[in-house]
Amino acid sequence: MNALTTVIFVFSNVFSLLRFSIAVDTITVNQPIRDGETITSAGGSFELGFFSPGNSKNRYLGIWYKKLATGTVVWVGNRESPLTDSSGVLKVTQQGILVVVNGTNGILWNTTSSRSAQDPKAQLLESGNLVMRNGNDGDPENFLWQSFDYPCDTLLPGMKLGRNRVTGLDRYLSSWKSADDPSKGNFTYGIDLSGFPQLFLRNGLAVKFRAGPWNGVRYSGIPQLTNNSVYTFDFVSNEKEIYIIYSLVNSSVIMRLVLTPDGYSRRSTWTDKKYDWTLYSTAQRDDCDNYAICGAYGICKIDQSPKCECMKGFRPKFQSNWDMADWSNGCVRSTPLDCQKGDGFVKYSGVKLPDTQNSWFNESMNLKECASLCSRNCSCTAYGNSDIRGGGSGCLLWFGDLIDIRDFTQNGQEFYVRMAASELDAFSSLNSSSKKKKKQVIVISISITGIVLLSLVLTLYVLKKRKRQLKRRAYMEHDLEGDETIEGRKHLELQLFDLDTLLNATNNFSNGNKLGEGGFGPVYKGILQEGQEIAVKMMSKTSKQGLEEFKNEVESIAKLQHRNLVKLFGCCIHGRERMLIYEYLPNKSLDLFIFGQMQSVVLDWPMRFLIINGIARGLLYLHQDSRLRIIHRDLKAENILLDNEMNPKISDFGIARSFDGNETEVNTTTVAGTVGYMSPEYASEGLYSTKSDVFSFGVLVLEIVSGKRNRGYNHPNCNLNLLGHAWTLYIEDRSLEFLDASMGNTCNLSEVIRTINLGLLCVQRFPDDRPSMHSVVLMLGGEGALPQPKEPCFFTDRNMMEANFSSGTQSPITLLEAR
């Protein structure tokens, strides 16, 4: 026995002495395990118990390889709520929930279950999966809960990495903060469902590495990924779920994929000869795997110097930066597109396909149909096959800039990029020199004639534009300062935008630039000539809001300055067209993250709590600290926008109202707002005050915590809306069941319960019972006991409408808009 073997043998024995295995793989209601005790999977591969990582003295519930001398941990339960001593106990409740409690019986971590349990028991499987079984039912489909659904930093064979489309459960890897701290670090690795699905490694919200879209064989950005003699993998996408999974060919091999604290995805195998892990492969191999290293329309070629070059027909956006090896700003077209005159497409082969976040796909179309579709859509910048098997099938269209492309020597793909018709000849070798000379003569002749005509046209255009601008400004000044004056207009530092400027910025308000549509009208992304990104909100002809709402929003928000309020840059009035120009917020609105298409980017509890705090501070400013006391009247998830750091900003002040003097409550005969967020006194009597906004805030808090909409929610087991469901769980001391399951184990449980309590305080029936936003902010930041809420006002959308419009009621209230 050599020295190394002796050291490992001694370490292994010390490791085993620190824990007492109860020689079973199951925990029951009557048989918990305490710190110092463990259970072992049937084949002896994995062990579960409490441990301390690295040099830390904190204690965590974890699963580790039992047969390996290093005791490598593969899963941690209470990673955000460590024990500070060895008093921890893991219990199974009668409801089929796993709970970690401390010496005072305080809950530090728990699982969730949406189904009732009979004779529940937790079992550690030989795969390393900790499952909660319902009696002796061994069917995986019937497990009440399983650790494989809540991975930490390790992906084991048989684990799914991806999303359940039915339940919304998102399985993704999240790094440890350090070797001594298993709490959630900055890095995540999972499938992104924006556009055509692809695998992302993120640092916070910023993409660090993109594996690219799945092409039927492998991920486009990992050409070395192939089935081999060690493991096989598969990508599954259907109506119910989308995920990637791998399996070992030889069960005697020990393999894991780990997301390291410094943000690298590494696949390793255990080597008995070395008694250590050996790196098998890594997703990030070189500098070209750094996301968007060459910027838009740049291609990274690792074998050349410099490694970045512009695609053919493009040039560096800033040549001076490019010369200094700063390629981040990418490239721009040498010749602008002219879709009306006809563009063409250039084929690129042997590359990693561009980022597909802004893409569209159809798996049943062929390449010819795909090319025709892209050609007809002027916003389409590129197309290609979505599946490379059998010669290629499916259609994938790109919109916007093409980002994160690299050159591959093998297993690259091909796609087709839209180019101006005049650029196509530069890519063709079929033209003879005589044809080129002839074309040059023609071009020169046409150019001379064109220059003369262009000079005349430009002169007339400049004169006409100047006249139109003077007329437009006079029209706008009259419209804003005439009989229906916006108070204080002369004191507003509000930019008046020219319509042509906005047309250029938004590509003529193309569908490719459209961000969405609300009650006011469509919203478009734009980029001004100096590079400033903007969002342009255009009042549609069918909008239920009119000139009054437009003026109101300009008047209200132009005077407001707060980090949690969206910033208004200016407005534009041209004829009957009215537009508001805001700062562009890349993460769009909150509802997309908790209800909609961005659910694949899971908002953990710290992020949700940060958003709740930001909204509260923004409302406090409106109610108390702004020059005008503003009642928003339409606070909802769709009107909370998120910047690139996920800071919330309240938007849409079209129906907001200001209070004068000592006014505390106003009565209106026209109720405007959104069903499900309106307070009962406002919906039924037309009374609104700051407490109306508090009610809406409370609804929003409960939606953020639960991940479910109030409007349209109906509990499957009882006829309750979301507020009623939250109240029932609260009075039964079961508030943790209200929590969105997609957050996994990221929660500070006491903070969650406190937040639910606060949400219920805000949705109490009577306005005087609800706290002010000043009190709300203090409660969110404090630690003392909160008041007991009273039973909220239960109503559904239908019941509220009936209350307003019942035949026996002579109410003067008119519901202007129930969006």
pLDDT above 80 for 137: no
pLDDT above 90 for 496: no
Q: Taking residues 470-492, report their average pLDDT.
A: 43
Of 100-104, 448-452, 593-597, 794-798, the one with minimum mean pLDDT is 794-798
Question: What is the structure's pLDDT at 428?
Answer: 58
Question: What is the structure's pLDDT at 280?
Answer: 76
pLDDT, greater one: 39 or 141:
39
Structure tokens at 175: 């790094």
Q: How far is CA 511 from CA 225, 354, 379, 417, in A?
A: 36, 20, 7, 19
Task: Enumerate residues 6+ apart whose C-beta is below 8 A from 221.
Answer: 210, 211, 212, 289, 352, 353, 404, 406
Tell me the pLDDT of the chain averaged across its residues. Answer: 82
Task: Enumerate residues 6+ apart whose C-beta is below 8 A from 389.
Answer: 216, 217
pLDDT above 80 for 526: yes
- Kindly state the percentage of the chain with pLDDT values over 70: 81
- Same CATH topology for 1-150 and 155-285? yes
Task: Enumerate residues 6+ apart whose C-beta is below 8 A from 596.
Answer: none
Give the other-Cβ count within 10 Å of 690's Cβ. Answer: 23
Question: What is the structure's pLDDT at 245?
Answer: 93
pLDDT above 80 for 701: yes
Question: What is the structure's pLDDT at 805?
Answer: 34
Q: Taking residues 557-580, report their average pLDDT.
A: 82
Give the other-Cβ count within 10 Å of 102's Cβ. Answer: 17
pLDDT band at 483 (very low <50, low <70, confident <90, very high): very low
Per residue in 307-340, pLDDT tens? 999 999 999 999 988 988 899 999 999 998 888 7
Cα–Cα distance, 163 to 239 (Å, whole number): 11
* Long-range Cβ pairs for the range 217-223 (8 Å, 24+): 217/388, 217/389, 218/411, 220/352, 220/353, 220/413, 221/289, 221/352, 221/353, 221/404, 221/406, 222/283, 223/408, 223/410, 223/411, 223/412
Q: What is the DSSP-derived secondary structure letter of residue 27?
A: E
pLDDT, greater one: 629 or 473:
629
Give the other-Cβ count within 10 Å of 521's Cβ. Answer: 19
Which of 604, 634, 652, 740 is labelled catalytic?
A: 634
Fold of 589-818: Transferase(Phosphotransferase); domain 1 (1.10.510)
Cα–Cα distance, 573 to 473 (Å, whole number): 9
Cα–Cα distance, 35 to 579 (Å, whole number): 63
pLDDT band at 746 (very low <50, low <70, confident <90, very high): confident
Q: What is the DSSP-derived secondary structure letter of residue 788?
A: P
pLDDT band at 601 (very low <50, low <70, confident <90, very high): low
Cα–Cα distance, 270 to 275 (Å, whole number): 7
CB distance 706 to 726 below 8 Å: yes
Q: Determine the 3-state secondary structure of 391 from DSSP.
A: helix
Q: What is the CA radius of gyration of the chain?
A: 31
Of 377-381, 457-461, 581-585, the one with minimum mean pLDDT is 457-461
Q: Taking residues 619-642, report their average pLDDT.
A: 88
pLDDT band at 598 (very low <50, low <70, confident <90, very high): low
Question: What is the structure's pLDDT at 15?
Answer: 40
Question: What is the structure's pLDDT at 338?
Answer: 85
Q: Taking residues 682-702, report their average pLDDT.
A: 91
Question: What is the structure's pLDDT at 459?
Answer: 73
Of 38-42, 383-387, 645-649, 801-805, the one with minimum mean pLDDT is 801-805
Phi, psi of 529 (to 5 degrees): -60, -35
Per residue in 644-684, pLDDT tens? 888 999 988 878 887 765 555 666 656 677 888 999 888 87
Angle at 521 (CA atoms; ends 518, 527), nearest 5 degrees: 100
Question: What is the structure's pLDDT at 28?
Answer: 92
Alpha-helical (H) ranges within 650-748 are 680-685, 690-706, 722-731
Pick the CATH number of 1-150 from 3.40.50.1370, 3.30.460.80, 2.40.100.10, 2.90.10.10: 2.90.10.10
Per residue in 340-380, pLDDT tens? 778 899 999 999 999 998 899 998 899 999 999 999 888 89
Q: Which of 384-393, 462-471, 611-620 shows the highest mean pLDDT?
A: 611-620
Cα–Cα distance, 290 to 350 (Å, whole number): 18
Q: Is 625 a catalytic residue?
A: no
- Lateral strand order in the sheet of 120-124: 26-28, 120-124, 130-134, 145-146
Domain ranges of the chain: 1-150, 155-285, 295-427, 432-482, 484-584, 589-818
Q: Taking residues 19-24, report their average pLDDT.
A: 58
pLDDT, greater one: 773 or 461:
773
Give the other-Cβ count within 10 Å of 132's Cβ. Answer: 21
Torsion sign, CA atoms 549, 551, 553, 556: negative
Cα–Cα distance, 607 to 155 (Å, whole number): 24
Task: Enumerate residues 6+ apart whose C-beta is below 8 A from 332.
Answer: 296, 297, 314, 315, 316, 317
Q: Taking residues 111-115, report their average pLDDT.
A: 81
pLDDT, greater one: 453 or 680:
680
Q: Taking residues 405-422, report their average pLDDT.
A: 89
- Kindly state the percentage of the chain with pLDDT values over 90: 42
Cα–Cα distance, 127 to 148 (Å, whole number): 10
Question: What is the structure's pLDDT at 682?
Answer: 84
pLDDT above 50 for 487: no
Q: How far is the first Cα of the chain from the last one, in angstroms, to the nearest whole number?
A: 76
Per residue in 212-270, pLDDT tens? 888 888 888 888 777 777 888 889 998 889 999 999 988 788 999 999 999 989 888 88
Fold of 155-285: Agglutinin, subunit A (2.90.10)
pLDDT, greater one: 340 or 182:
182
Angle at 164 (CA atoms; ends 697, 176), nearest 5 degrees: 75
**Residue that the structure tokens 């903070």 belong to:** 751
Per residue in 781-813, pLDDT tens? 887 789 999 988 764 433 443 343 333 333 333
Structure tokens at 448: 């001379």
Helix or strand (DSSP H, E) at 607: helix 605-620
pLDDT above 70 for 596: yes
pLDDT band at 55 (very low <50, low <70, confident <90, very high): very high
Of 168-182, 685-699, 732-746, the one with minimum mean pLDDT is 732-746
DSSP string, 303-324: TSSSSEEEPTTEEESSHHHHHT
Nearest partner of 811 among 669, 665, 667, 666, judged by Cα: 669
Q: Which of 275-279, 528-532, 665-669, 701-705 shows the highest mean pLDDT?
A: 701-705
Task: Enumerate residues 6+ apart whose C-beta is below 8 A from 181.
Answer: 53, 56
pLDDT, greater one: 448 or 502:
502
Q: Determine the 3-state secondary structure of 37 from DSSP.
A: strand
Nearest partner of 297 among 337, 327, 324, 338, judged by Cα: 327
Q: Taking residues 538-550, report their average pLDDT.
A: 62
Question: What is the structure's pLDDT at 18?
Answer: 45
Q: What pTM, to 2 d.p., does this model score? A: 0.56
Q: Which homologous superfamily is 484-584 in?
A: Phosphorylase Kinase; domain 1 (3.30.200.20)
**How, if at all, do strands 98-101 and 89-92 pair?**
antiparallel
pLDDT above 80 for 432: no
